Amino acid sequence: MKTKILTVIYLLTGIIYTALDSHLSFLPGLVLKGLIIPVLITIYLLNARKNFNIFILAALIFSWAGDVYLDFSFIPGLACFLIAHVMYAIAFFKTSGNSMFIRKRIYLLLPVILYGAGLVFLLYDNLDGMRLPVIIYAFVILTMLVAAINRCGKVNQFSFGMVLAGAILFVISDSLIAVGKFGYPFRFSGVAVMTTYIAAQFLIVTGVLKQSEEKFV
């Protein structure tokens, strides 16, 4: 019951912030945005039990820090999210079980590589002094995505699908931030970024919490 109530609070807080962001002054916007991830952390801590993973918790904490710091300075916020992605990647790669993905299906990484290369190519001329940080960041988020894919065969299909969907949405959310900031701003970018981000975090947390609840085939 607590989890259902917290889930509603998480989604409503995210929806309200996303809908009102452009109309809120700095402090109310910061407070409302800063409440989103702590609710998800609470959901995770209440339900993790045997599935508790310090790297998942760290990823959520650094995500929260990124949410806050982005409103003050882009670079510290970017650094926090970079660490969050590293934490998620470690957690996904450390998922127990034998996966043949990297060794037997490495060709499936091609779309991920092409996506990353295409994104950097699109933004490259507008990056100036941010070229190296953005390239590093792109590499890290795509590594996180590969780590999510590599859970295939280690966990049940529901968990795999939820985490993979969350990882993909996280990549999309960060890509939209980069596209909007470096030369290609677009209408409703804030709504697109926050919608994909809120969904991504929720799917990842739900997926990792469900990974041992049923046998996989």
Residue 60 CA to residue 81 CA, distance in Å, equals 9
Residue 93's nearest CA partner among 140, 48, 42, 41 is 140
Closest CA to 120 of 107, 106, 136: 136
pLDDT digits (tens, 9 = 90+) for 105-139: 777 788 999 999 999 999 888 888 888 989 999 99
Burial 30-50 (b: 16+ CB within 10 A, else e): bebbbbbbebbbebbeebeee
Q: Dmax over Cα atoms in the chain, in whole Å?
A: 52
Note the pLDDT tens digit of each residue in 153-194.
888 999 999 999 999 999 999 999 999 888 788 888 889 999
> Structural domain tally of the chain?
1
Is 160 domain-assigned? yes
Instruction: Return the pLDDT at 215.
Output: 46
The answer to whether residue 216 sits within a structural domain is no
For residues 127 and 170, give the distance between their C-alpha atoms in angstroms, rounded to a whole number.
Answer: 21
Alpha helix stretches (DSSP H) within the chain = 2-20, 26-48, 54-69, 74-93, 101-104, 110-127, 131-149, 157-181, 189-209
Q: Which of 70-74, 107-111, 139-143 has the lowest mean pLDDT?
A: 107-111
Highest mean pLDDT: which range of 47-51, 58-62, 109-113: 58-62
Average of pLDDT values for 53-68?
Answer: 96
Spatial distance between the Cα atoms of 131 and 124, rounded to a whole number of angstroms = 7
**Binning pLDDT at 50, 70 and 90, where does residue 75 land?**
confident
- In the predicted model, what is the mean pLDDT of the chain? 89
Q: What is the DSSP secondary structure assignment for residue 217, as one 8-state letter?
A: -
Domain residue limits at 99: 2-209
Q: What is the pLDDT of residue 200?
A: 97
pTM of the model: 0.91
pLDDT bin (cut points 50, 70, 90) of residue 217 is very low
Rounded CA separation 31/16 (Å): 12
Running DSSP on this structure, what letter comes out for residue 97?
Answer: S
The pLDDT, as a whole number, for residue 41 is 96
Domain membership flag for residue 215: no
Cβ-proximal residues to 175 (8 Å cutoff; 6+ apart), any chain: 119
Residue tagged 């590589």 (tokens): 113
Q: In this model, does residue 152 exceed pLDDT 50?
A: yes
